[in-house]
Amino acid sequence: MNKKIVLITIGLLLIPALVLGATLIISNKPINPEDAHIYFVTGNAAYQQKDYESATQHYKKAVSLNPEYEEAHNNLAYLYNKLGDYEKAAEHLEKLIILNPANPGYYYDYAVNLMLQIKKTKKGEIKDIEAALQAFEKTEELSPGYERAQENTIFLENMSAKYYEQQG
């Protein structure tokens, strides 16, 4: 029984190191502790091992070293959303929209994140509904027919109208 635990522990420690080593060999780059990509790759390895706390820390380090690292922001947004921290997910999605305003997926994900925050936490405000509505509209503008942006826009417009009716 103890051997099994030791082997699993070694595997959990060894896999991220192997992934990082393989990445460095393939890219033929020297190891630089200030390289955001190293933290991104180790974050991915930690995520694959379901070590979400470690993955979060590695992605955060990657964006601290390179604030314009889209993939790291995207992974953080996804991870925070998965963990139910919608506010932090929204922060990274907002950064992604600033970094790449032509990507309809970032607007869509931002709007969906706001809707999940309202639905799951019951803490939504009309400003959140309106922000999600604007993000879905921008998604549809950039990429007509993108996933369910138009359906979600109609849903939010109805939700917004009901809110204003109740406010009288």
Domains contained in the chain, number: 2
Q: Do 1 and 81 fall within a single domain?
A: yes
CB of 79 closer than 8 Å to CB of 56: yes
pLDDT at res. 159: 77
Put simply, whether the predicted model's pTM sits higher than 0.85 gets the answer no
The CATH code of the domain that includes 10 is 1.25.40.10
Query: Hey, is 67 helix, strand or coil?
Result: coil
28 exposure class (CB count in 10 Å sphere: 0-12, 13-18, 19+): exposed
Task: Tokens for 124, please give them.
Answer: 């939504």
pLDDT at res. 1: 53
pLDDT at res. 126: 81
Q: Do 62 and 127 fall within a single domain?
A: no
pLDDT at res. 122: 72
Q: Do 79 and 154 fall within a single domain?
A: no
pLDDT at res. 49: 95
Task: Tokens for 1, please give them.
Answer: 């029984």
Q: Do 123 and 54 fall within a single domain?
A: no
Q: Do 77 and 120 fall within a single domain?
A: no
Spans of the chain, pLDDT less than 50? 6, 13
CB of 148 closer than 8 Å to CB of 106: no
Kindly report each contact of residues 118-125 with a partner whose C-beta sits within 8 Å and lies 24 or more positions away, as own/partner: 120/84, 120/86, 121/86
Domain span including residue 46 = 1-87
pLDDT at res. 16: 57
Three-state SS for 68-112 is CCHHHHHHHHHHHHHCCCHHHHHHHHHHHHHHCCCCHHHHHHHHH
